[in-house]
Amino acid sequence: MGYRVVVAGATGNVGREMLNILAEREFPIDEIAVVASSRSQGDQIEFGETGKMLKVQNIDNFDPAGWDMALFAIGSEATAVHAPRFAAAGCTVIDNSSLYRMDPDIPLIVPEVNPEAIDGYKKRNIIANPNCSTAQMVVALKPLHDAAKIKRVVVSTYQSVSGAGKAGMDELFEQSRNIFVGDPAEAKKFTKQIAFNVIPHIDKFLDDGFTKEEWKMVVETKKILDPKVKVVATCVRVPVFVGHSEAINIEFENEISAEEAQNILREAPGIMLVDKREDGGYVTPVECVGDFATFVSRVREDPTVENGLVLWCVSDNLRKGAALNAVQIAELLGRRHLKKG
């Protein structure tokens, strides 16, 4: 016996990827429903590459009673309306928005890092999926933290435009095309031209000068990994379609060498170590697209601090940063609690 699963926001980038991954991983499904806003009602969407077409239903009219779980990719505003409704009907919500991440009664889960925290989901029947940049970083940090106890993390991100949705991807494509033919490259989705440029600004600015994206990385890492770890982030949008990259400086309480870290990461769940000290012996966003793994390269010792490492981390943000992590949470929920399939 399998699960009755809802994918909310199925017509967006992340929602489509959720459907692809559910199909790829052969998640035990008895019945699946796809829902979205009234604009998409009646549209047809394929369930991965199975050939099975699903008709999009209007989420406003959808009755969640009798459904086991719903994977949400509909944004915070719509989530605030529908997540409590689904949860109250007995359908566990796995939410990809930022709405519930820092709610103390709602677990924030990366299955490779804090699977036991999912046991608290029954308080609200909602589970939160972290920010895409946070997800890949904590997967890389967790095994190293277990080995040598992390004190401080300094991270600079290089985030693809897909993190801003279809509008962000369209803007990069249109601006690039316009520049090649000599037309104006007007900024609409982003605050400045993104084609052939980098923008040190993701989400809105806070009073302390950091952006909300940077704040998310700090507080989410503390909630998922360890509240004692100090984190500071600089988040940058780059002209890459899919795949987030991060340069991470880590300071530890205990001694750890680059070789020890490589050995640990090589065996860690969810990580693929590609670290050859030669031309091309590392992973870039182009190579990570469509892959489940979080890739780590360029592991080296930081000579400016005691017990310090530096590494490069790359992942498909639509997968591990969003859709894959949500499906992994669904799998974890099934194994630990619902026990179907």
For the annotated catalytic residues, the residue numbers are: 132, 244
* CA separation for the pair 260, 262 (Å, rounded): 5
For residue 101, say whether it is annotated as part of any ligand binding site: yes
For residue 317, say whether it is annotated as part of any ligand binding site: yes
For residue 16, say whether it is annotated as part of any ligand binding site: no
* CA separation for the pair 151, 125 (Å, rounded): 33
Helices (H) and strands (E) in the chain, counts: 8, 13
* CA separation for the pair 261, 182 (Å, rounded): 48
* CA separation for the pair 247, 270 (Å, rounded): 18
For residue 162, say whether it is annotated as part of any ligand binding site: yes
Q: In degrees rounded to 5, what are phi and psi of residue 73?
A: -140, 60
* CA separation for the pair 171, 194 (Å, rounded): 8
For residue 125, say whether it is annotated as part of any ligand binding site: no
Measuring CA to CA, how many Å separate 222 from each of 4, 9, 179, 269?
33, 29, 42, 20
For residue 76, say whether it is annotated as part of any ligand binding site: no
* CA separation for the pair 190, 223 (Å, rounded): 29
* CA separation for the pair 151, 231 (Å, rounded): 9
For residue 114, say whether it is annotated as part of any ligand binding site: no
Burial readout 169-203 (b: 16 or more C-beta within 10 A, e: otherwise): bebbeebeeeeeeeeebeeebbeebbbeeebebbb
For residue 184, say whether it is annotated as part of any ligand binding site: yes
For residue 13, say whether it is annotated as part of any ligand binding site: yes
For residue 12, say whether it is annotated as part of any ligand binding site: yes
The residues with which 69 forms a beta bridge, in sequence order, are 5, 92
For residue 300, say whether it is annotated as part of any ligand binding site: no
For residue 40, say whether it is annotated as part of any ligand binding site: yes
Concatenating the DSSP letter of every residue in 262-293 gives: HHHHHHSTTEEE---SSTT-S--HHHHTT--S
The pairing of strands 44-46 and 244-252 is unpaired
Amino acid identity, position 318: L
For residue 25, say whether it is annotated as part of any ligand binding site: no
Binding residues: 11-14, 39-40, 101, 159, 162-163, 184, 237, 317
Binding residues for substrate: 159, 237
Binding residues for NADP(+): 11-14, 39-40, 162-163, 184, 317
Binding residues for phosphate: 101
